[in-house]
């Protein structure tokens, strides 16, 4: 029996899997069991993925009466005085957030992975991870407190920067950074744990070989660990980018809590929501959604093709 | 081999200064992640006045905590209890459907051959990368046309479509399950279903737990979908309910000062209560999750 594979096959990172090991792989092709297993999922994909997406396309190119509208919906929303500021807000937020995420998550994962005392490493991961329990509205509420100098645990810090009131903290120029901090605080830990797991999966022999060759920790990180994390970093980038363009709950709650110092059309999604539920213009809302979709798909494509997300195929 | 794998794959940080810098960086991030949570836990034990005047990291009193608790659950005649119940129904309902539908799908995509497999795979990745809110409004219209808006199904069904979970199981099945093992089971006389249920599924337990975890947390914390789908406060999950509480907090909404208004410590308590189930899952599953993340490297 040759069932027990060499350990590399189980532990190797992405690059290890390029070799053509699947000639005798899919022997299940003889029976149609695959159809049974995916049937329900395919149904859900149609109902809540494909059909709504196509519906958005239809809506974006038609008018309220269902007649073909060409690109008038797009020219309307792009010409909206609120559109470009929203694009700018989301873009700045994304740049800050993605850079922070990649730099700090990868850095911290490498550092924590280098910790040799087991319980310290476990405790660190847990602490970094814990804020992930507070997502969505809960974390925004918590950060409302943290950013309000009257009650904040870091009011000293806020005041040292000259922020003496809640309104001073949430000036428009600060918002992208604030939203990035909230998102990082909530989401980074999960990614650190995932990166840590990926680091654990790097074959022992590879690290050992690097060490024998005289590589120090930094060289090993740059030349061995980072390339092997590439796929996960790309994945984190894609998911975070997709999530980031959706910016909604943070500005929405901040707008509510600041008596509209933060406008309720700060982000693109809020603008789409305004179109749909305040102006009853579903076609305009669909046009914004579609624009968001195209941008996210284009950018993801770069990540996917360069990060080897799908290289199994 | 396995005796080595624990320690020797770790990279040595040599030198005293390198270690101190690394330690300081990690410690600073500990503070960043922990301070808000510690503060929150203390804030709920204070009265509205002492929250502002006392040291942020001093503890309050038990009686203030009880008072905050009563104010929270008395809000709008116990609305908070209703919201938590709603959240549980939505999150668990979607979780069950996600697992029943998603895990076999990930298995089939990874290890079986069928027509349209690659198309479904690409579709899964694409939908996974689509901002889910981009689909919320179209799904709203779709469900509106069949009269589901306001029904629990209008949030449970869309939430149970979880391509990320399918992708995770797909990756796991295609990288961590040796195909030879499945082939051997077939030679030994297993049917295709038995190969899945007796061989692949038990091996995939860590990744199933991981998917369940992500699904539950995401469902519980979902804001935009229920915000759009559920017009009535009776149907809110607790995350959307928080906005009602926020709107009733004079400190953040001066126009709301009235009989049913909410004080800051009560709002803080609401924040904790709203995430308690997720927090429990976090604490409970920490070890299991890490095991799941690293399972590929340790099963030999």
A169-183, B59-73, B280-294: lowest mean pLDDT where?
Answer: B280-294
**Confidence check: pLDDT of B177 > 70:** yes
The answer to whether residue A209 neighbours chain B at the CB level (below 8 Å) is no
**Confidence check: pLDDT of B30 > 50:** yes
Q: Are B263 and B50 in contact (CB under 8 A)?
A: no
Q: What pLDDT, in 10s, does the model give residues A16-27? A: 333 344 444 444
Residue in B with minimal Cα distance to A33: B192
Class of domain A38-307: mainly alpha
The answer to whether residue A150 neighbours chain B at the CB level (below 8 Å) is yes
Answer with the residue of higher pLDDT: B225 or A53. B225
Contact between B289 and A193 using a beta-carbon 8 Å cutoff = yes
How far is A291 from chain B, CA to nearest CA, in Å? 9
Q: What pLDDT, in 10s, does the model give residues B66-94? A: 999 998 998 888 899 999 999 999 999 99
**Confidence check: pLDDT of A83 > 90:** yes
The answer to whether residue A31 neighbours chain B at the CB level (below 8 Å) is yes
Q: What pLDDT, in 10s, does the model give residues B151-162? A: 999 999 999 999
The answer to whether residue A207 neighbours chain B at the CB level (below 8 Å) is yes
pLDDT band, residue B29 (cuts 50/70/90): very high
Residue in A with minimal Cα distance to B289: A193
Q: What is the pLDDT of residue B166?
A: 94
The answer to whether residue A225 neighbours chain B at the CB level (below 8 Å) is yes
A114-123, A288-297, B117-126: lowest mean pLDDT where?
Answer: A288-297
Q: What is the ipTM of this complex?
A: 0.82
**Mean model confidence pLDDT for chain B:** 84
Tell me what the mean pLDDT of segment A52-66 comes to. 87
Q: What pLDDT, in 10s, does the model give residues A211-255? A: 888 888 888 888 888 888 887 888 788 778 878 888 888 898 888
Residue in B with minimal Cα distance to A260: B253
Facing A142 at nearest CB: one of B25, B40, B116: B40
Q: What is the pLDDT of residue A178?
A: 92
């Amino acid at each position: 029996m040759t069932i027990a594979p060499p350990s590399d096959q189980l532990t190797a990172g992405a690059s290890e899997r390029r070799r053509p090991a699947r000639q005798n792989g899919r022997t299940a092709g003889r029976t149609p069991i695959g159809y049974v297993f995916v049937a329900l999922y395919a149904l859900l994909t149609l109902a809540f993925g494909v059909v709504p997406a196509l519906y958005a396309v239809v809506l974006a190119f038609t008018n309220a009466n269902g007649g073909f509208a060409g690109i008038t919906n797009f020219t309307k929303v792009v010409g909206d005085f609120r559109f470009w500021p929203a694009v700018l807000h989301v873009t700045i937020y994304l740049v800050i957030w993605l850079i922070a995420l990649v730099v700090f998550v990868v850095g911290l994962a490498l550092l924590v992975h280098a910790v040799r005392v087991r319980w310290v490493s476990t405790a660190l991961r847990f602490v970094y991870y814990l804020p992930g329990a507070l997502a969505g509205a809960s974390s925004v509420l918590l950060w409302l407190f943290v950013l309000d100098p009257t009650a904040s645990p870091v009011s000293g810090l806020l005041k040292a920067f000259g922020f003496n009131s809640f309104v001073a903290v949430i000036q428009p120029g600060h918002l992208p950074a604030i939203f990035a901090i909230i998102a990082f605080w909530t989401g980074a830990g999960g990614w650190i744990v995932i990166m840590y797991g990926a680091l654990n999966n790097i074959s022992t022999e590879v690290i050992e070989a690097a060490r024998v060759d005289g590589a120090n920790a930094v060289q090993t990180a740059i030349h061995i660990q980072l390339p092997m994390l590439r796929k996960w970093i790309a994945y984190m980038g894609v998911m975070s980018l997709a999530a980031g363009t959706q910016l909604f709950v943070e500005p929405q709650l901040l707008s509510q809590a600041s008596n509209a110092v933060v406008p309720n059309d700060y982000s693109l999604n809020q603008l789409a929501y305004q179109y749909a539920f305040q102006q009853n213009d579903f076609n305009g809302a669909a046009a914004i959604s579609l624009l968001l979709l195209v941008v996210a798909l284009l950018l993801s494509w770069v990540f996917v093709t360069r990060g080897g997300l799908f290289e199994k195929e | 081999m396995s005796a080595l794998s624990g320690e020797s794959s770790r990279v040595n940080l040599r030198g005293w200064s390198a270690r101190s810098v690394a330690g300081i960086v990690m410690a600073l991030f500990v503070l960043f992640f922990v301070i808000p949570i510690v503060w929150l836990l203390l804030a709920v034990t204070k009265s509205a006045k002492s929250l502002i005047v006392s040291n942020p990291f001093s503890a309050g009193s038990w009686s203030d905590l009880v008072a905050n608790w009563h104010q929270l659950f008395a809000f709008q005649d116990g609305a908070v209890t209703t919201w938590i119940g709603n959240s549980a129904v939505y999150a668990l309902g979607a979780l069950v459907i996600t697992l029943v539908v998603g895990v076999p799908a990930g298995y089939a995509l990874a290890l079986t051959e069928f027509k349209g497999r690659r198309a479904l795979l690409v579709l899964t990745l694409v939908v996974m990368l689509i901002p889910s809110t981009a689909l919320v409004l179209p799904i709203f219209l779709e469900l509106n046309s069949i009269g589901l808006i306001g029904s629990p199904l209008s949030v449970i069904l869309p939430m149970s479509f979880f391509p990320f979970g399918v992708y995770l199981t797909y990756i796991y099945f295609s990288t961590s399950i040796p195909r030879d093992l499945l082939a051997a089971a077939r030679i030994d006389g297993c049917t295709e279903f038995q190969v899945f249920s007796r061989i692949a599924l038990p091996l995939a337990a860590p990744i199933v737990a991981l998917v369940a975890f992500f699904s539950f947390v995401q469902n519980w914390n979902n804001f935009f979908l229920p915000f759009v789908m559920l017009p009535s406060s009776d149907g809110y999950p607790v995350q959307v309910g928080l906005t009602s509480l926020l709107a009733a907090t004079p400190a953040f909404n001066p126009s709301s000062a009235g009989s049913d208004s909410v004080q800051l410590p009560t709002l803080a308590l609401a924040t904790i209560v709203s995430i308690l189930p997720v927090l429990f899952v976090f604490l409970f599953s920490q070890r299991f999750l890490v095991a799941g993340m690293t399972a590929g490297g340790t099963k030999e």
